Structure 1
Amino acid sequence: MSAIWYECKVKYRKLQETGEQKLVTEPYLVDAISYTEAEKRINEEMGAYVSEEFKITNIKVCNYAEIHPFENADRWFRSKVSLVSFDEESGKERKANMYLLIQANDVKEAYDNTVNVMKDTMGDYTIPAISESLIMDVFPYFSGEESDLEALEKFNTLKASKPVYEEVEDSGEFLEISEEATA
């Protein structure tokens, strides 16, 4: 059975970097069986993070086929993947779209991570769109069985790892890129 993902918008007072508190509404993603379970799960998860009162302003079903956390990434991106198939009866090419939620630091990395996730796909596919998602965090469901606990630990380790930025020295010069490199 595949997961059903619910986007839950939560309104609460968030401490800003300036030290002031600001009322924000942020979307979170939970894996649940029903709206009722999604509400229960987001209450439990947010209760651990938010010390003050919070309000769930909206819950809706999301159409993500898969969620993929990656190490050293801090943002979530929505990747649209079009699976290409050939309809022999009509002789036409058909595309079936699916959406992946991919963790990355920028759009290029999200594209690379999407290609990495899709590398074992037998059929043809294209990636027509990648956009940054407003999702703040993802809370998958784990049953508590030992194999699930290992999966939960791995998911949370990947999700919580901090981005590693390489320091690049800027010489102030422009680099010329040959036509062969861009082809």
Structure 2
Amino acid sequence: MSVIWYECKVKYRKTHETGEQKVTTDTYLLDAVSYTEAESRITEEMKTFTNEDFRIMNIKVANFSEVHPFENSDRWFKSKVSLIALDEESGKERKTNIYLLVQANDIKEAFENTTTAMADTMGDYTIPAITESPILDVFPYFTGEEEQLEKFGVETSNTSEDDVAEEISEEVSEESEAV
């Protein structure tokens, strides 16, 4: 199942480093299954972020194929990646554009991080554009299952549900035998 990312614009009173308060509109990104869930999730996230009243100004589907956070980076960049494929019938190259959101400190680092994110790609691609995004933070959906799986040492990235259940069952059996 593919992830649907929602861009949410929220207007609220923000206290700056100088101590003065200004009304600001910030953009956040989160994944959800519907607009209703996106609204609910951004409301919960903002309640933990600010005690002030806030207003959700806009929610729209974002066109990101993937989101790649990188440590020690504080800004988000939108990378346009053109996947190149050869059309067998006509013999011409076809380009399909996808958009990645990568975290970096500057454009050069965003290019490097995009290249890192595309490292496992088998086909040819180009990176025709990278622009700084207005997104301040990304809130990926987290069910708590990942934490439970990590507790049992299960790698979740390329594992089927049956494999996960089997590994957990084996771990629990080994733990109960040890007791």
- Partner of residue 67, structure 1: 67
Describe the SS at the equivalent of 2:65: strand
Matches within 5 A, 1:3-82: 3-82=3-82
Normalised by the size of structure 1, how large is the TM-score? 0.79
Partners in 2 of 1:66 and 1:49 — Cα distance?
A: 25
Opposite residue 4 of structure 1, the aligned amino acid is I
Which consecutive aligned stretches of 4+ in structure 1 deviate over 6 angstroms post-superposition? none
- Partner of residue 83, structure 1: 83
The answer to which structure, 1 or 2, has the higher relative contact order (CA under 8 A, 6+ apart) is: 1
Opposite residue 101 of structure 2, the aligned amino acid is L
Q: CA deviation at 1:146?
A: 3.8
Residue by residue over 1:47-72, the C-alpha shift from the partner in whole angstroms, topping out at 9 and shown as x without a partner, is 00011100000000001000000010
Residue by residue over 1:100-139, the C-alpha shift from the partner in whole angstroms, topping out at 9 and shown as x without a partner, is 0000000000000000111111000000000000001000
Matches within 5 A, 1:102-113: 102-113=102-113
Describe the SS at the equivalent of 1:33: coil
1:130 aligns with 2:130: yes
- How many aligned positions are there? 150
Structural RMSD (CA) = 1.2
Normalised by the size of structure 2, how large is the TM-score? 0.81
Describe the SS at the equivalent of 2:111: helix
> What is the identity percentage for the equivalent residue pairs of Structure 1 and Structure 2?
71
Partners in 1 of 2:130 and 2:7 — Cα distance?
A: 19
User: Gaps (5+ residues) in structure 1?
Assistant: 151-183
